[in-house]
Amino acid sequence: MDDNRILQLRDNARAELMQINDVETGIKYLNKVKAIEAWAKAEKKSGEVQNIIAEQKIRTQRILGKLIKEGQEAGEIAKQSENQSNLMQDGNKVKKNLSEIGITAKQSSTFQKIAEIPDPDFEFILNEQKPEYADDINELTTSGFLRFAEAMKNGIAVFDIFCLNYKKFYLRVKRMFPAVEEKVNPPSDLKTLSEISDLYAKYVRLQLNPGIELSDFDSRLRFIAVIVKMLDPLFEIDDSPIRKGLASKLGEVLGCERTVISHLYKNVKNYMHIYTSFRDEVNYFYRKMAEIENI
């Protein structure tokens, strides 16, 4: 597989999607796109490339959501809550289970919710979101569109959702009230994520100091907390999840999967709020590791 496959996916996107006329074809195409997505992530392709793939995946999921709903309304596909006896008529099976068409109940629900977003709003969301993904910081996701769908279901118009444009708000505060911006967005102590490996060696040396006794679990939690604090000194006051790039780098340094880091990060946030001793120790290591002189 090479980059030409990505370009082909982009150039043939509309034609490929128009050929999806039934659930089975849609699932087959979705699996194809997901295989390309897995390859692109493994090869660490750019955010722009990964979002070309993600857009096609989400559009496919949206089509599947419509087809599943149509099949259920036509009595061809069973609903999740439907009794097994309703699938039979005169001894013959007249409806297919979701599992028989290769889809889970959760996927069916997610795809149908995304499909409920009106076409103009769906395209508006895509066009508004794309410019923000060129810098590799975020990515276009199914879960993101699901959040939009649920917000709209709760009566929030898509335009109102985007009126809560925090990026625009931040830029205006930065320009008009620089002192406020500096207070709520203090500068990071890290320039790049590549520094984390050297910081871990420094952290290990610090732990060898007399009087510092930490279990492996405690040590990992504190290191994660210190690194996140060096990137964002105010990280503990909000509910933002750990960034994927940061989680991947921490996992690489600590020898574990990114998902493990994400789980440990939740513990870090809880510990920072609950345990004063943990917070004090994190601040101790943070101050020491943020110093310019060598230890």
pLDDT in tens, 199-230: 888 888 887 655 555 567 888 899 999 999 98
Q: Report d(CA 252, CA 51) in Å as an integer.
A: 24
Whole-number Cα distances in Å, 240 to 2, 188, 236, 244: 34, 17, 9, 12
Per-residue model confidence as pLDDT tens digits over 20-79: 999 999 999 999 999 988 888 888 877 778 888 889 999 999 999 999 999 988 888 887
Q: What does the pLDDT average to over 147-168?
A: 70
Residue 79 burial (C-beta neighbours within 10 Å; 0-12, 13-18, 19+):
middle
The residue among 74, 82, 116 whose CA lies nearest residue 99 is: 82
Radius of gyration of the chain (CA): 24
Evaluate whether 19 touches 25 at the Cβ level (below 8 Å): yes
pLDDT of residue 293: 41
Neighbours of 270 (CB within 10 A): 12
Per-residue model confidence as pLDDT tens digits over 119-146: 888 888 887 766 544 444 446 788 888 8
pLDDT of residue 174: 76
User: Is 80's pLDDT higher than 80?
Assistant: no
Q: What's the distance, Cα to Cα, between the start and end of the chain in Å? A: 47
